[in-house]
Amino acid sequence: MLKIEAVLQPSKLDAVKDALLEAGIEGMTILEARGHGRQKGHTEFYRGREYTVDLLPKVKIELVVVDELKDKVIEAIESAARTGRIGDGKIFVSRIDEAIRIRNDERGESAL
Amino acid sequence: MRGRSILLLVPSTLFLFLFAATFSAVAQAPAAQAPATQAQVAALQQQIQTAQMNADNAWMLVSAALVLLMTGPGLALFYGGLVRRKNILATMMQSFAMMGLVTILWAVFGYSLAFGHGNAFIGGFEHIFLRGVGLTPNTDYAATIPEQTYMVYQLMFAIITPALITGAFAERMKFSAMAVFLSLWSLLVYSPMAHMVWGVGGLLNANGGQIPSLDFAGGTVVHITSGVSALITAIYLGKRLGYPHTNMQPHSMVLSFIGACLLWVGWFGFNAGSALGSGPLATSAFVNTHFAAAAAALGWTIAEWIHNGKPTALGAISGAVAGLVAITPASGFVQPFPALLIGLIAGAFCSFMVFEVKSRLGYDDSLDAFGVHGAGGTLGAILTGLFATSAINAAFGKGVPTGAIDGHWGQVLHQLAGVGIAWSISIVGTLVLLFLVDKIIGLRVSPEDEREGLDLSQHGEEGYDLNS
């Protein structure tokens, strides 16, 4: 089982969700986040002085899927979220040791 | 069924009665056309006077409510939005505490010290516990409204003045120390200043004072005293941890915006209500107030647009407030276009105070209480001396020149005297009280409490619980 985390521009959330649903992925967790990579922040004015705000609003999607779906998921996210500009975001993949359904204590891939 | 039929008896009887009464009145008409007696004329005159007084009282009660609205929630929101999220409740509590505390102090001593008979500097104890303050007018102040209306109207001013000072020490003063400090300030700085400018026999009273100065609604009494005291407090307390290099931007410009608009609307009560009646002078003050606010918002916005390249919402609302402050002493004395000019100048001038002077001198007047109220009030007091005209308000008597525009240039000197006294009493009074309260209670919160935020450290509460 793999965990796929994607940090995205908030404006791309709907497109990515739709792409994932179309790819047959139904479960996901969405978090509001702040951060930046190479994308510079923006400047704001307060009482005549300029401040740089580094922490930009982002959205993070987390999915846990069976190994076989990895490429399909990555393809869905990339095609929906890519604009070609700095700030598109990143995807990380890691291994998951255990998955458990709380309702009935089902374990393993069938819990996903 | 029988019960219902009985009900018909009621309207029928009433109808018959009215029918009979009309006929008997008509039947008496010829007798009533005899010459009216003195008593009837006097009674009619009394009724007219009562109607006029009730008209004034209606506006004054509304004005009092509007001025209270300026504190709660006007100022509470305006200041609240400008601080960091961890201090929102504490900031609002400071204004709210004034609503409670000052009311009691005013009722017990404050009104008497401000408006009772005394000497040139302070009133006396004749109205302690509001003794003698009833529902008949006090002709020394307002001949057409009950004295209790006058008292409660003035109370709202006494409430907002210390509340304004809280802007200077935002995010770092102990609640207990603030409550004691501002209570004492209200009695020892506000009441004397109010007495000097508005009280019977006051040194600066336009009506017979030794140095007659023009302050229609409180440019010196409210804005200079609070603004200068704010500066002193900001310097005495020291800067917030991390000031000025840490970004301490407002956590909610939305709240501040709403607060500022409530201040603008409430100010109609503050200025137009100072006419103490609902006649044409109130109209003058109302129009001037609005014009100055609008022009000043524009003045600050343009100044900022040039300075930063972008006009901010904070700049626009601060500009409006600056204009309202500056027009306060002038509102019932000037023509509308001078009011526009006063606003425009105030907007530009106060923005300069906040952008340049504050950063150059380095004091942490967190919410610009001095930059807007102290500086704006000083400017307004001086411009009042320039633009006051007896065409609007013959303050010194019919046909007597009022301000420089009438030819009476000496008035500007009188205004400067009033400004000087306001500055002095504020500086001295505030320093003494700060020193005393600091020694006895301690003014500033501990660094840990300041970092945690005053909402939690002073009140054990959080302003927003977005997870509940």
pLDDT digits 0-9 by tens, B198-238: 999 999 999 999 999 999 999 999 999 999 999 999 999 99
Nearest CA to B302 out of B351, B360, B250, B249 is that of: B351
Choose the mutation target among B83, B84, B249 for the interface with A, i.e. most A CBs under 10 Å: B249
Nearest CA to B193 out of B181, B183, B202 is that of: B202
B419 touches chain A (CB under 8 A): no
Residue in B249, B250, B354 closest to A48 by CB: B354
| Structural domains in chain B (count) | 1
Q: Across the interface, do A47 and B307 touch by the CB < 8 Å criterion?
A: no
Which chain B residues are within 8 Å of A44, Cβ to Cβ? 249
> What are the average pLDDT values for consecutive 10-residue runs of chain B, which has 468 residues?
63 68 53 71 94 97 98 97 97 98 98 97 97 96 97 98 97 98 98 98 95 97 98 97 90 98 98 97 98 98 93 96 98 98 97 91 93 97 97 94 96 97 98 98 97 96 85
Which chain A residues are within 8 Å of B243, Cβ to Cβ? none
DSSP state letters, B248-315 = ---S-HHHHHHHHHHHHHHHHHHHHGGGSSSSHHHHHHHHHHHHHHHHHHHHHHHHHHHHHSS--HHH
Cβ-count burial B382-411 (b if 16+ within 10 Å, e if not) = bbbbbbbbbebbebbeeeebbbbbbebeeb
Provide the chain B residues 235-274 that lie in CB contact (below 8 A) with chain A: 247-250
Which chain A residues are within 8 Å of B240, Cβ to Cβ? none
B307 touches chain A (CB under 8 A): yes
Say if residues A92 and A35 touch (Cβ distance below 8 Å): no
Task: Give me the pLDDT at residue A95, please.
Answer: 97
Q: Is residue B4 part of a domain?
A: no
Topology classification of domain A2-111: Alpha-Beta Plaits (3.30.70)
Q: What domain range includes position B308?
A: 46-459
Q: Is residue B22 part of a domain?
A: no
Residue A55 — very low, low, confident or very high, per pLDDT cuts 50/70/90? confident
Choose the mutation target among B240, B301, B305, B312 for the interface with A, i.e. most A CBs under 10 Å: B312
Q: Is residue B27 part of a domain?
A: no
Which chain A residues are within 8 Å of B358, Cβ to Cβ? 47
Q: Is residue B280 part of a domain?
A: yes
Which chain A residues are within 8 Å of B250, Cβ to Cβ? 46
Min Cα distance A11 → chain B (Å) is: 22
Residue in chain A lying closest to B355 (CA): A48
pLDDT tens, residue by residue, B310-328? 999 999 999 999 999 999 9
Token pair 């002095």: residue: B424
Task: Give me the pLDDT at residue B244, please.
Answer: 86
> Mean pLDDT across the stretch A19-48?
88
- Establish how many alpha carbons lie within 13 A of residue B256's alpha carbon, considering only the half-sphere containing its beta carbon: 26
Task: Give me the pLDDT at residue B466, please.
Answer: 76
Q: Letter for the amino acid at B346? A: A
Length of chain B: 468
The domain that holds B209 is classified in CATH as: 1.10.3430.10
A48 touches chain B (CB under 8 A): yes
Q: Across the interface, do A48 and B355 touch by the CB < 8 Å criterion?
A: yes
CB A70: neighbour CB atoms within 10 A? 13
Q: Is residue B28 part of a domain?
A: no
A43 touches chain B (CB under 8 A): no
Say if residues B265 and B66 touch (Cβ distance below 8 Å): yes
Q: Across the interface, do B249 and A49 touch by the CB < 8 Å criterion?
A: no
Report whether the peptide linkage leading into residue B11 is cis, meaning its omega lies within 30 degrees of zero: no
How far apart are alpha carbons B389 and B214 in whole angstroms? 11
The residues with which A35 forms a beta bridge, in sequence order, are: A56
Say if residues A2 and A70 touch (Cβ distance below 8 Å): yes
Structure-block tokens of residue B61: 């009660």
Domain ranges for chain A, please list them. Answer: 2-111
Structure-block tokens of residue A21: 């649903």
Report whether the peptide linkage leading into residue B244 is cis, meaning its omega lies within 30 degrees of zero: yes
Say if residues A6 and A61 touch (Cβ distance below 8 Å): yes
Say if residues B226 and B427 touch (Cβ distance below 8 Å): no
DSSP structural state of residue B169: T
Min Cα distance B65 → chain A (Å) is: 32
CB B293: neighbour CB atoms within 10 A? 29
For residue A46, which phi and psi values (nearest 5 degrees)? Answer: -140, 115
Q: Across the interface, do A48 and B314 touch by the CB < 8 Å criterion?
A: no
Nearest CA to B191 out of B202, B175, B179, B177 is that of: B202
Q: Across the interface, do B250 and A46 touch by the CB < 8 Å criterion?
A: yes
Choose the mutation target among A32, A42, A47, A55 for the interface with B, i.e. most B CBs under 10 Å: A47
B355 touches chain A (CB under 8 A): yes
Residue in chain B lying closest to A52 (CA): B247
Kindly list the distances between the CA atom of residue A78 and the CA atoms of A73, A94, B220, B297, B341, in Å, as whole numbers in the listed order: 9, 17, 65, 48, 59
Residue in chain B lying closest to A51 (CA): B247
